[in-house]
Amino acid sequence: MEQLQGILKEYYGLDRTVVVPQKGGWAALAYKVQTDGHTYFLKVYEKSRASTPKWTALIDDYVPVLLWLEKHSRLKGKIPVPILTKDGRYQCEDDEGIYLLYEYIVGDTIADTELTKDQVRQLTAMIAELHRYGEEVPLVTSAMKESFTVPFLGQLRSALDMEMAGGIGEVLLHHIDHVKRLMLEVERLSEALKKRNLRMALCHTDVHGWNLMSDGQQLKLIDWEGLKLAPVEADMMSFADEPYFAEFMRIYKEMHGQYEINAEALQFYQGRRKLEDVWEFMEQLLYDVQHDKERALTLQSLRKELEEIASSHRD
């Protein structure tokens, strides 16, 4: 922990810190930081992980938009924004990792718990508010705008054609054809959507229970690495199969009364996410250093994703 304490002192001026590991997410490690009666949350993206460049490349693009939303929208107090370093930056880094510091949120992650009616209402209101803002937001960059590309498909296609040991080949054995069929479908939709003139809005793109926290009253939406200017189906994919979807749409249409789901865009985002999840797990297994237990869990997660793809693509 001395290394992290050094980072906190050098870049944030925090001295006499107590740093305690927390349960992290898919993309980063997490730590609770206590000092002088104040509590912070430190997010650490390890440079040794193959996926880190993807999660950190747009920090300097999406954080200013979060700060803008915090100031100009009704999302104030419902989204976490990073604390600036002593020299006014959104992040800091060393040879080991990239670091973002936040105020600590006292509360619980929703995780796999079923949302209450009030939480569904709060979540819908947050998403509807976020979708009010589009290309007029002054800070959105071209890097954040949806291009309907699927940049990892080449790597995934090459990996599927490799002979893989360590359990990966065995897990993939009966699912490769289903994955390749989905890849072709997503590529077709990608080309079609590039020709459409769709309204784009700010989208979180990764809304699920592990990215939702509750302090007992207010729901908060966290982990904004995927913030994009995109068709709203980039978020709707997270709700379309939920049991509360009808109620979600009823509340959503109170603010966006003319909205109708674009089935083509929804299918694209659902398919791209499935393939992205498969590639994330494969990338971890192929390139990251994992302990036996961690590797077994990754293989289990990969198998689950592949089985879901297979079940939805059976003739």
Interval 122-150: pLDDT, tens: 999 999 999 999 999 999 999 999 999 99
Indicate if the pLDDT at residue 192 is higher than 70.
yes
Instruction: Check residue 27 and give its pLDDT.
Output: 87
Strand segments, DSSP code E, in 10-150 are: 18-22, 29-35, 38-46, 92-93, 97-103, 108-109
Question: Which CATH number is correct for 2-104, 3.40.367.20, 3.60.15.10, 3.30.200.20, 3.30.450.20?
Answer: 3.30.200.20
Instruction: Check residue 165 and give its pLDDT.
Output: 66
Token pair, residue 67, equals 């700060």
Instruction: Check residue 68 and give its pLDDT.
Output: 97
Q: Is 244 helix (H, G, I), strand (E, B) or coil?
A: coil
Instruction: Compare 217 and 185 and report the one with higher pLDDT.
Output: 185
Sign of the C-alpha dihedral computed for residues 295, 296, 300 and 303 taken in this order: positive
pTM of the entire predicted model: 0.94
Own/partner contacts of 23-30, CB < 8 Å, gap of 24 or more, are 25/210, 25/211, 25/223, 26/280, 27/51, 27/52, 27/55, 27/223, 27/225, 28/55, 29/97
Distance of CA 12 to the CA centre of its chain: 26
Q: Which of the four pLDDT bands, split at 50, 70 and 90, describes residue 313? A: low
pLDDT digits (tens, 9 = 90+) for 207-244: 999 999 999 899 999 999 999 999 999 999 999 999 99
Instruction: Check residue 162 and give its pLDDT.
Output: 84
Share of the chain above pLDDT 70, in %: 98
Instruction: Check residue 166 and give its pLDDT.
Output: 67
Indicate if the pLDDT at residue 94 is higher than 70.
yes
DSSP 211: G
Instruction: Check residue 173 and give its pLDDT.
Output: 87
By the 8 A CB rule, do 9 and 17 touch?
A: yes
Residue ranges of the chain assigned to CATH 3.90.1200.10? 117-312
Taking residues 64-80, what's their average pLDDT?
Answer: 96
Nearest CA to 221 out of 86, 81, 114, 45 is that of 81
Q: Give the bridge partners for 145, in sequence order.
A: 229
Instruction: Check residue 26 and give its pLDDT.
Output: 78
Please provide the DSSP assignment of 55-100 as one string. HHTTHHHHHHHHHHHHHHSTTTTTS--PPP-TTS-S-EE-SSEEEE
Q: Is 170 helix (H, G, I), strand (E, B) or coil?
A: helix
Residue type for position 12:
Y
Indicate if the pLDDT at residue 281 is higher than 60.
yes
Residue ranges of the chain assigned to CATH 3.30.200.20? 2-104
Residue type for position 310:
A
Instruction: Check residue 244 and give its pLDDT.
Output: 97
Q: Compute the mean pLDDT over every residue in the chain, rounded to the nearest whole number.
A: 95
Superfamily of structural domain 117-312:
Aminoglycoside phosphotransferase (APH), C-terminal lobe (3.90.1200.10)
H or E, element range at 229: strand 228-230
Share of the chain above pLDDT 90, in %: 90
Taking residues 179-203, what's their average pLDDT?
Answer: 97
Token pair, residue 107, equals 């509360």
Q: Is 162 helix (H, G, I), strand (E, B) or coil?
A: coil
Indicate if the pLDDT at residue 245 is higher than 60.
yes
Indicate if the pLDDT at residue 36 is higher than 60.
yes
Rounded (5°) CA angle 240-202-70 = 115
Question: What is the distance between the alpha carbons of residues 19 and 42, in angstroms, rounded to a whole number?
Answer: 9
Indicate if the pLDDT at residue 66 is higher than 80.
yes
